[in-house]
Amino acid sequence: MTSYLGKSLQTALLLTVFFAVPAASAEEAPPAELTPEQEMAIKLELSKYAVLGQQQILHLTEQATDEYTETLADSEPNMPSAWMLLEDGVTVKRINIDEQAKEAPAQIRILMYRAALKSVARHGKIHGSVILYTGKIREGSDDEALVIEFEHRLGISGNKVVPYQVENGQVTYGEPVTTEKPFQIFHDSKPEANTTN
């Protein structure tokens, strides 16, 4: 009886070692290299998402700019405004903070829009956001520019600065300049390296 039990325990231990060793070495082994076909398939899939994100940002920016252009032509001071692209990827909705920001200056409104958009984005309710506001192209200049802060969940973030003029109630835009900006709505920018230990 004891020898049978001893052999069963010995067999169980051997099986455990036999199955545990390959699992441990599989964890330590470097990942298998991708074939050129696999690499191409991954690049193709990623490019589809990049194109989708760009198309959605373009759709959102065009609709927001069309609505905001109306405010540039009137005599009222231009205040910042914000729009978001809902999770269906098509519906664009304007954010209204007029009640909360009655006397707030433009810079404070921009911060409020960023906070509101970040809150909605972190709950996965939107795919894209834009904040539009105006400013002087250079200090001491009368030339105005429309600034469009845009961001998309798929890793797109930038500022577009578009010079504009208003003549006889008509707004005409100049050549835009686009630059990248740190993420503020959908993703946190990389934290600074901790130098103190």
pLDDT digits (tens, 9 = 90+) for 44-85: 877 787 888 899 999 999 999 999 998 898 767 789 999 999
> Is 165 a domain residue?
yes
Cα–Cα distance for residue pair 105/80, rounded to 1 Å: 9
For the residues 116-131, what does the mean pLDDT come to? 94
> Is 159 a domain residue?
yes
> Is 195 a domain residue?
no
Cα–Cα distance for residue pair 159/149, rounded to 1 Å: 5
Above pLDDT 90, what percent of the chain? 47
Using the predicted structure, report yes or no on whether residue 28 has a pLDDT greater than 60: no
Above pLDDT 70, what percent of the chain? 79
What is the domain extent for residue 101?
37-180
Place of tokens 């946190």: 188
Give residues with Cβ within 8 angstroms of 133, minimum separation 6: 78, 79, 80, 81, 106, 110, 146, 147
Q: Is the pTM of this model over 0.75?
A: no
> Is 185 a domain residue?
no
User: 4-13, 93-102, 135-144, 174-183 — which one is most confidently predicted on average?
Assistant: 174-183
Using the predicted structure, report yes or no on whether residue 30 has a pLDDT greater than 70: no
Cα–Cα distance for residue pair 165/145, rounded to 1 Å: 8
Among 10-14, 46-50, 126-130, 181-185, which stretch is predicted with the lowest mean pLDDT? Answer: 10-14
> Is 80 a domain residue?
yes
> Is 126 a domain residue?
yes
Q: Grade residue 110 by pLDDT with cuts at 50, 70 and 90.
A: very high
> Is 10 a domain residue?
no
> Is 93 a domain residue?
yes
Q: How many domains does the chain have?
A: 1
